[in-house]
Amino acid sequence: MRIVTLEEGMTIVEKGIAKATMIMDGYPSYELFTSEEYMMVYHCVYTMCVQHPPHDYSQQLYERFKRALEETICAKVLPSLMDKNSTPLLIQLLHMWAKYKAMTKCLRGFFTYLDRHYSNNFRNGTIELSLNDLSVQCFHDLIREDRDEKATDRDLLNNVSNFLVEIERGNRLYYDDFEKAILEDAAIFYSQLASEWLFRYSSADYILKAKWCLDAEKERAIHYLYLVTLEKLLKVVHWQMVVQAESKLIEKQKAENNSGSATFQELLLQCANLSLGEGTSASRSQECNMLE
């Protein structure tokens, strides 16, 4: 078999990478390559991997694949997110992620044999990531610092939630970052709301509103959060609105000298025992009225 030199092989690979990155500009892969062109890049990578040392260029190919991902993110993805925030930022992020996945699928096709030949073998005492994992990790590492603000589009929030789970691929950063931010925001919001409502409303009215908050929070969050996160969120709401406020509610109820204490105790018990299965739907108009 004829030896393919590093310079000769990389010339072919670079042409393939240059065309593949055009997917980020909206070009479909089938318009960028003929079958012959695509297979030429694949066979070039294959040959560069199976040649005997010193002509085994697996290391150089792996590094070039990684650099292609990083260059694409720096040149295409991050600039497209500049000067955007809130909903427009999240929409653009999801749009670029979809194109990025299409591009990396094309690149992984070129480097399929490299994935088998190199990525799962020991190199200098370490095991390299698979190309798919590397693609996901590079995207995540370079966009992780982007801003994250609240949005009201539930479909968008669901897509973002799926996106964050997808880029984590089991390493729990979703729970360490996204979920943590949601729970911390909820704790601050409902702590402030509880203080305000304890001042404004009677003890019985407060309990009714607290129960409504749990129902309404479930109705909203069930559209875009995974069950494990939803359960934690409802526990945060319950803790801030009921558990933390319980002693003040009892004092307030005594001060009111309310003859309907049995009703109050019943409502308090209902709220304390509220489970995920007891939520009720809350309309947008009801939500506005209850938050007044």
Confidence bin at 268 (pLDDT 50/70/90): low
Half-sphere exposure of 96 (CA within 13 A, CB side): 21
Which DSSP state fits 126?
E
Q: What is the pLDDT of residue 189?
A: 87
Out of 43-52, 73-82, 136-145, 222-231, the most confident range is: 43-52
Alpha carbon of 4 to those of 49, 60, 206: distances in Å? 10, 14, 77
For residue 167, report the phi and psi dihedrals to the nearest 5 degrees.
-75, -15
Token representation of residue 278? 């007891």
Mean pLDDT of the chain: 75
Q: Which pLDDT tens digit goes with each residue over 53-109?
A: 899 898 899 899 889 988 998 888 888 888 877 677 778 888 888 898 899 989 989
Token representation of residue 222? 């069930």
For residue 148, report the phi and psi dihedrals to the nearest 5 degrees.
-135, 115
For residue 144, report the phi and psi dihedrals to the nearest 5 degrees.
-65, -25
Q: What is the pLDDT of residue 277?
A: 45
C-alpha–C-alpha distance, residues 10 and 1, integer Å: 18
The answer to whether 209 and 143 have CB atoms below 8 angstroms apart is no
The answer to whether 237 and 190 have CB atoms below 8 angstroms apart is yes
Q: Is the pLDDT of residue 21 over 90?
A: yes
The pTM of the whole model exceeds 0.85: no
Angle between helices 35-50 and 86-110 (to 10 degrees): 70
Of residues 8, 4, 18, the one with CA closest to residue 106? 18
